[in-house]
């Protein structure tokens, strides 16, 4: 049985609206989502997505509800645990649509689950605003599923950005040409490692170690040992949060400190510097943050006040921005017409914590950082080259006890 949590938010607002909204009219907006509350994806979902969903609903309810036409309607949330399983996620989304009859759907966490539920979102015409999925299939999927929006970029974008940084370091004599790479055997790791093999080779690098590992792996020390023995200056791991934590801990234990240490999802999580303190210095990953963006700083402060921890320094700000876009699209359309909302998302320009956002072919363009690095307690963006960009620190400092 999939766990169900159902809650009606702001009863006071609902009571107030009951006096002004005719009984025949819609008196609430029902929003549903299937999310990983258990299983290996739960860590990522609980950091990057669930807080954004809860914060956005709270912010909307503080205004009196979601503005639909000339009314503000309270939000009812229906949520299921997809157990980090694609079949569970598909069943849950089907149930949300056919049985719970939700007005809107929020996406699950992770590349694999977003790909799994994509056909269901598309079949029933629900906008799918993905902000924790990275795939080179995004342009193709946006055409196949015109209701889907791919806001975190493609694997090639991240690989090109990382390769550009590595090439510059190599040309400056700071690193050699050998790379050791590992990747999780899931949609995320498969897509990124495939792009990396071509990108690294085309740039004149040599992959001296290339290994995938199954989701749920806890002991990654054998892979670290083999990468260490390869002698590569650069270690790249396209990992999920549990693996990222394990890799950091086990690399430290093994005194494995390559000149460039690039790890996957989780490096930008608030728990990462809390757990590893000064040892995060110099570690690179996907994402990044802008020191000079007042809106994202205000968002981070509000997030910390609400959840007693900061946001993920990669997908979180993109996720909250996607919900702001959805809210503004609904207000402009003036009704819960999903086809019209999708069209507005495709064509409109939106004010978000990232700044002005206009999607091109259902994809976000240059509103977010691709590569970041921990420097002096801040996860600074290193690529692409734009205002606020930082310079990479290499080699990574030695591990501290």
With beta carbons less than 8 A apart as the criterion, state whether 73 and 1 touch. no
CA distance 154 to 129: 15
CA distance 69 to 139: 33
What pLDDT sits at residue 8? Answer: 37
CA separation, residue 172 to residues 23, 206, 208, 234, 380 (Å): 71, 17, 21, 15, 21
Region label for 127, one of left (φ > 0), alpha (ψ between -120 and 50) or beta (otherwise): beta
- Give the number of other Cβ atoms within 10 Å of residue 340's Cβ: 15
Which residues partner with 78 through β-bridges? 6, 32
What pLDDT sits at residue 111? Answer: 92
Q: What is the DSSP letter of 361?
A: T
| Residue 154: HSE in the Cβ half-sphere, 13 Å Cα cutoff | 15
Burial per residue of 35-52, b for 16 or more beta-carbon CB atoms within 10 angstroms, e otherwise: bbbebbbbbbbbbbbbbb
Q: What are the boundaries of each domain within the chain?
A: 4-154+293-358, 155-289+369-383
Domains 4-154+293-358 and 155-289+369-383 share a fold: yes
Q: What are residue 127's phi and psi, to 5 degrees? A: -65, 135
- Give the number of other Cβ atoms within 10 Å of residue 159's Cβ: 27
Q: Which residue has the tokens 């860590």?
A: 43
What pLDDT sits at residue 21? Answer: 35
| Homologous superfamily, domain 4-154+293-358 | Response regulator (3.40.50.2300)
Percent of the chain clearing pLDDT 70 (strictly above):
94
With beta carbons less than 8 A apart as the criterion, state whether 199 and 205 touch. no
Domain boundaries 155-289+369-383, corresponding CATH code: 3.40.50.2300
Q: What is the DSSP letter of 212?
A: E
The parts of the chain modelled with pLDDT lower than 50 are 1-24
Q: What are residue 214's phi and psi, to 5 degrees? A: -70, 150
What pLDDT sits at residue 19? Answer: 31
Q: What is the DSSP letter of 91?
A: H
């Amino acid at each position: 049985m999939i766990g169900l949590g159902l809650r009606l938010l702001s009863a006071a607002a609902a009571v107030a609206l009951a006096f002004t909204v005719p009984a025949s009219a819609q008196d609430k907006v029902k929003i549903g989502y299937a999310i990983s509350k258990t299983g290996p994806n739960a860590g990522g979902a609980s950091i990057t997505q669930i807080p954004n969903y809860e914060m956005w609903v709270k912010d909307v309810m503080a205004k009196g509800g979601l503005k639909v036409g000339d009314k503000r309607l309270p939000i009812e949330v229906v949520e299921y645990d997809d157990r980090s399983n694609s079949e569970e996620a598909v069943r849950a989304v089907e149930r949300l649509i056919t049985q719970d009859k939700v007005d809107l759907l929020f996406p699950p966490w992770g590349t694999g689950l977003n790909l799994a539920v994509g056909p269901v979102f598309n079949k029933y015409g629900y906008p799918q605003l993905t902000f924790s999925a990275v795939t080179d299939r995004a342009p193709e999927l946006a055409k196949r599923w015109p209701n889907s929006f791919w806001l975190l970029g493609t694997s090639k974008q991240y690989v090109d950005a990382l390769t550009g940084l590595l090439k510059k370091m190599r040309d400056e004599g700071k690193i050699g040409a050998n790379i050791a790479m590992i990747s999780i055997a899931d949609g995320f790791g498969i897509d990124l490692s495939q792009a990396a093999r071509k990108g690294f080779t085309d740039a004149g690098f040599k992959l001296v170690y290339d290994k995938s590992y199954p989701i749920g792996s806890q002991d990654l020390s054998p892979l670290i040992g083999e990468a260490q023995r390869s002698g590569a200056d650069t270690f790249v791991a396209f990992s999920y949060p549990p693996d990222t934590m394990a890799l950091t801990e086990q690399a430290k234990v093994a005194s494995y400190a390559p000149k460039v240490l690039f790890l996957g999802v989780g490096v930008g999580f608030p728990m990462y510097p809390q757990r590893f303190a000064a040892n995060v210095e110099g570690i690179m990953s996907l994402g990044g943050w802008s020191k000079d963006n007042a809106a994202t700083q205000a968002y981070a402060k509000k997030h910390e006040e609400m959840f007693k921890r900061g946001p993920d320094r990669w997908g979180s700000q993109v996720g909250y921005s996607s919900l702001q876009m959805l809210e503004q699209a609904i207000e402009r359309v003036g009704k819960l017409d999903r086809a019209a909302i999708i069209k507005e998302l495709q064509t409109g320009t939106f004010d978000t914590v990232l700044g002005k956002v206009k999607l091109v072919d259902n994809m976000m363009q240059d509103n977010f950082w691709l590569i970041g690095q921990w420097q002096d307690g801040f996860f600074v963006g290193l690529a692409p080259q734009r205002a606020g960009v930082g310079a990479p620190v290499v080699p990574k400092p030695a591990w501290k006890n």
